[in-house]
Amino acid sequence: MADLSLEPESALGGYTQNFGDTHLREVTGLDIVSIAVSSGARDALSTLLQEKIGLPWPATGTIERAGDEAALLGLQADQCFRVSASQQQNPVTELACLVGDAAYLTDQSDSWVVLELDGASSVSALERICPIDLSDNEFGALNVARTSMEHISVIIERPDTHRFRLYSPRSSAHSFLHAVTTSLHNL
Amino acid sequence: MLIDHPLLGLRDAAEFVYLGDAALLNRPDASSADALDSFHDYLHLRDNVAGEHRELWYHEQGDRSWLVITRNTLTHAITAVELARDVAMNLREGANS
């Protein structure tokens, strides 16, 4: 039998590009786990998350963050994403040991392409394609939202003022990259 | 058009999908004697309102919540936005009390 060694490829092959003062890159090496609250277990889950990973349940539209690569994204009333640096093991197994039956967990690590836009022109580029009001008082640092850009579903996260992370389905990764780069070229 | 989501604030109407009359939340009792007539009316009969209308919208490109929106069909003015979950739970509590 042939001795094969397979390496996983990211959706955009580690894309990285400067556009003037703004940098666009593909973020790889993230574990993304969907956490959905079991019926009636909201308070129990909130307590467990605080005890086990040191983060409270995020209010819808906000991010609870510990360090640069571990966060809970509050996407809807009873669901959030846990995003953390890849640990080379099944992230669901690890999290299931911590929260037990209080949540339904789904590994979505390979389902999303993640783009990071960093720089002074980030807002100018995004406001052409993003229907969310990105002004500092409406969508400042540590805010998150699901929306669509160019008819493609997107989760937009703002870790800090000049930096955005955009999660979009991996299956349309190149179309989404085209939408973002076109907007950057048009500045 | 902007919709003032109860949890998320003002969001573009393009993120939502329209379903129709919020009366769909009042599903008839399938075990009642007049269930056939009730379900006929539930499925097929709609009021064609000129004025305030309570209707279901789904935030498909957002937090996936169902909303009950009170909209004036003559002016498109939106006067109330509620989470359909809250409306349905209030209906259930009212029926049980």
Residue B79, in any domain of the structure: yes
From the list B15, B65, B85, which residue is nearest A131 (CB)? B15
- At residue A173, the pLDDT reads 97
Best of A75, A79, A81, A146 to mutate (most B CBs within 10 Å, chain B): A146
What DSSP line would sit under B20-81, residue for residue? Answer: EEGGGGS---TTSTTHHHHHHHHHH-----SSEEEEEEE-TTTT--EEEEEEETTT--EEEE
The yes-or-no verdict on residue A17 having pLDDT over 80 is yes
The yes-or-no verdict on residue B95 having pLDDT over 90 is no
From the list A75, A148, A153, which residue is nearest B63 (CB)? A75
CATH code of the domain containing B74: 3.30.2270.10
The yes-or-no verdict on residue A137 having pLDDT over 90 is yes
Domain spans, chain A: 16-27+110-185, 30-107
Strand partners, A65: A71
**Count of domains in chain B?**
1
Closest C-alpha among B2, B22, B20, B26 to residue B12: B2
Using the structure block, give the residue that is written with the tokens 């070229």.
Answer: A185
Residue B29, in any domain of the structure: no
Q: How many residues in chain A? A: 187
The yes-or-no verdict on residue B6 having pLDDT over 90 is yes
The amino acid at residue A82 is: R
- At residue A68, the pLDDT reads 66
CATH class for the region spanning A16-27+110-185: alpha beta
Does residue A133 sit in helix, strand or coil?
coil
Residue A31 makes CB contacts below 8 A (sequence gap 6+) with A82, A83, A84, A85, A86, A87, A91, A107, A109
Rounded distance, CA A181 to CA A121, Å? 12
The yes-or-no verdict on residue B25 having pLDDT over 90 is yes
Please give the CATH superfamily to which domain A30-107 belongs. Answer: Heterotetrameric sarcosine oxidase (3.30.70.1520)
- At residue A7, the pLDDT reads 80
Going by their DSSP bridges, the two strands A30-37 and A79-85 should be labelled as antiparallel
